Structure 1
Amino acid sequence: MLKGIDLFAGAGGNTIAGTNAGIEMVYAANHWQMACDIHRSNHPSIEVACQDLQQADWSRLPAHDIGLASPCCQGHSKARGKERAHHDTQRNTAWAVVGCAEYHKEDVWLVENVVDFLDWPLFPSWLDAMRRLGYAMAPYIIDSADHGVPQHRERVYMVFTRSKHPIELTLPKRPHVPVSSVIEWESYNWSKIEKTGRSPKTLARVKSGRERFGDRFVFPYYSSGSGKTGRSLDRPLGTVTTVDRWAIVQGDMMRMFQPSEYRKVMNFPENYLLPSTRREAIKMLGNAVTPIVPEDLLNEIQRVA
């Protein structure tokens, strides 16, 4: 059986993917203590290291064949603005993949990030470093909705193989799943839309949504696009972020999405343990990988290898 590692593991989306693809996941690492604790709770048989991977001693990792990694994306996403010093540090986390690959010479690397990662000024140098280590790279820009996830979430998945030419994969394309399928209509408390203190901007968004979709729809509390128009329940949700963004309208009542619903929107198992606090659970899920996408990639990589 092939063995794999999960760097910048977060909530463990890549670990779920590797396990489901028949890979024995033997190691995971992340710098956030809470994420490490959650990973251990859900995957007790896997060695978990809680550390800054830019300072990692790669010789201490167990033997493995495949590397999975999701370096920090916040420094690359144009949606986050210009927090230069902080973002420069986050962008640099991608070099940990190079360091690990130089030492272990894995057969395959699967690296996930926001599409803006390809516009990083140092991306050509980072890619050149991987090529100098003997890897060819095939980029796949994938929307999770096309893999049956009830969420539009476009990310780039870079497949590195120790081969002369990039690997060519044929991935499945599944029907889109409506967000209505994951909403727990009877499980949580709702509040009146028309109440003292409700933001005029929120009321305007609700009014616009009602005009388009009637008494039931979803909308984000901020941003453009469906932030102004609402969103049909018959479509996948928009991208889940690390903050409490998405709200549901039902008649004259509304509420925010709950972690148990976000867990399903992110394609995590329903019994997957999350942080007990709402804020941390949403942050962890918003940073995560939707497991079915890397699972599909890993299955196809193994098929054509």
Structure 2
Amino acid sequence: MKAIDLFAGAGGFSTGATMAGAQVIWAANHWPLAVQYHAANHPDADHLCQDLHQADWSLVPSTDILLAAPCCQGHSKARGKAKGNPQHDASRSTAWAVVSAAEYLRPQAIVVENVPEFLEWDLFPAWELAMQKLGYTLAPHIVDAADNGVPQHRVRMFIVATRSRSPLVLDLPKRQHIPASAFLDFDSGSWSPINKPRRSCATLARVSAGRAAHGDRFLAPYYGSGSGTTGRSLHRPIGTVTTKARWALIDGDRMRMLTVPENCAAMGFPRDYRLPAPAHQAIHMLGNAVCPPVARDVIAALMNQI
């Protein structure tokens, strides 16, 4: 089956589709750097760099499956979603590009990825009605990446839209959880002493709490509730990877932030996946991405059922 990828970013959805046996023939994103690296990893696909509100869908190839991961920042509780915030309002509006593409292309199936709060969006009923008017039935699935063999707890929503009488509920596999220890490399990265001048009191408090709970080796996030105050065991999947470096590795009296390869592995990307050299750019792309193994399982199940 052929697939196209809207809001393709670093290419997690496309990579998962390829793993599932689909052929990704076209991908788009508004960020030139993301398009550059998507093309480097998926050279057989055609690419468009554009705000998809302005896309001419007549120039996009017909497809069996449309993949879309519209901006989640306007929905995510982690970023806040106060009404009247112009940036968040614009972010949420990207979902309407999916309706526009569906109206013209009429693919057999559509898979939309976002945070679960997407379903609580004030305009979700209108968005859902628009998709239904185009002949699609919608089945939301809430999926934790850890259940798909990704060494990360990352809960996301996948809406499966099909041109069928009834919503298509996917039979997704439940894979064994993989601990963070599987991808950590204690011989890499830039280590520094925990007790060094100007180390913040908040960091020292997190490290102290983590030692009490987990011993000398554990992960400590730099912000957030839960693990943000207690640390996280290396014997369980890591918490959510975000667009900014969040996770520190603690080893006795030293610590460091996770490396790009470790973040890449935590997201389930192939080891040889190409990313920008500057770490902040690579981590931003990874934090915005769909975990490829999750996309693989969702798309494979979809292909088996349509």
In structure 1, what residue type is equivalent to 2:177? H
- Deviation per CA, 1:174-230, whole angstroms, max 9, x where unpaired? 111100110011022310000001001100110110011110000101121111100
Counterpart mapping for 1:273-288 below 5 A: 273-288=274-289
Report if aligned partners of 2:260, 2:279 keep a CA contact under 8 Å in 1: yes
**Residue 12 in structure 1 maps to residue 11 in structure 2:** yes
In structure 1, what residue type is equivalent to 2:272? N
Q: Residue 299 of structure 2 aligns with which residue?
A: 298
How many angstroms does 1:287 deviate by?
A: 0.2
Question: Which 4+ stretches in 1 moved above 4 angstroms?
Answer: none
How many angstroms does 1:295 deviate by?
A: 1.1
In structure 1, what residue type is equivalent to 2:108? D
Q: Residue 48 of structure 2 aligns with which residue?
A: 49
Q: Residue 71 of structure 1 aligns with which residue?
A: 70
How many angstroms does 1:168 deviate by?
A: 2.4
Counterpart mapping for 1:239-258 below 5 A: 239-258=240-259
Q: Residue 264 of structure 1 aligns with which residue?
A: 265
Q: Give 3-state SS (helix, strand or coil) of 1:80's partner.
A: coil
Give the distance between the partners of 1:17 and 1:260, measured in 2 at CA.
Answer: 18
Report if aligned partners of 2:62, 2:107 keep a CA contact under 8 Å in 1: no
Q: Give 3-state SS (helix, strand or coil) of 1:79's partner.
A: coil
How many angstroms does 1:164 deviate by?
A: 0.7
Q: Residue 163 of structure 2 aligns with which residue?
A: 162
Counterpart mapping for 1:28-39 below 5 A: 28-39=27-38
Q: Give 3-state SS (helix, strand or coil) of 2:187's partner.
A: coil
In structure 1, what residue type is equivalent to 2:51? D
Q: Give 3-state SS (helix, strand or coil) of 2:63's partner.
A: coil
Give the distance between the partners of 2:177 and 2:21, measured in 1 at CA.
Answer: 25
- Deviation per CA, 1:215-255, whole angstroms, max 9, x where unpaired? 00001011211111000000100101101110000010000
How many angstroms does 1:31 deviate by?
A: 0.5
How many equivalent residue pairs? 304
Give the distance between the partners of 1:144 and 1:300, measured in 2 at CA.
Answer: 15
**Residue 201 in structure 1 maps to residue 191 in structure 2:** no
Farther-moved stretch of structure 1 (19-28 vs 108-117): 19-28
Give the distance between the partners of 1:166 and 1:174, measured in 2 at CA.
Answer: 24
In structure 1, what residue type is equivalent to 2:78? A
- Deviation per CA, 1:232-282, whole angstroms, max 9, x where unpaired? 000100101101110000010000011110000000000000011011111
In structure 2, what residue type is equivalent to 1:170? D
In structure 2, what residue type is equivalent to 1:124? P
Q: Give 3-state SS (helix, strand or coil) of 2:159's partner.
A: strand
**Residue 108 in structure 1 maps to residue 77 in structure 2:** no
TM-score by length of 2: 0.98
Give the distance between the partners of 2:228 and 2:203, measured in 1 at CA.
Answer: 9
Q: Residue 181 of structure 1 aligns with which residue?
A: 182
How many angstroms does 1:297 deviate by?
A: 1.3
Report if aligned partners of 2:147, 2:177 keep a CA contact under 8 Å in 1: yes
- What is the percent sequence identity of the aligned residues? 54
In structure 1, what residue type is equivalent to 2:193? K
In structure 1, what residue type is equivalent to 2:216? D
Counterpart mapping for 1:204-219 below 5 A: 204-219=205-220
- What residue ranges of structure 1 are gaps of 5+ in the alignment? none
Q: Give 3-state SS (helix, strand or coil) of 1:131's partner.
A: helix
**Residue 223 in structure 1 maps to residue 224 in structure 2:** yes
Counterpart mapping for 1:104-143 below 5 A: 104-143=105-144
Farther-moved stretch of structure 1 (232-241 vs 74-83): 74-83
Give the distance between the partners of 2:211 and 2:21, measured in 1 at CA.
Answer: 46
Question: Cα RMSD (Å) of the superposition?
Answer: 0.8
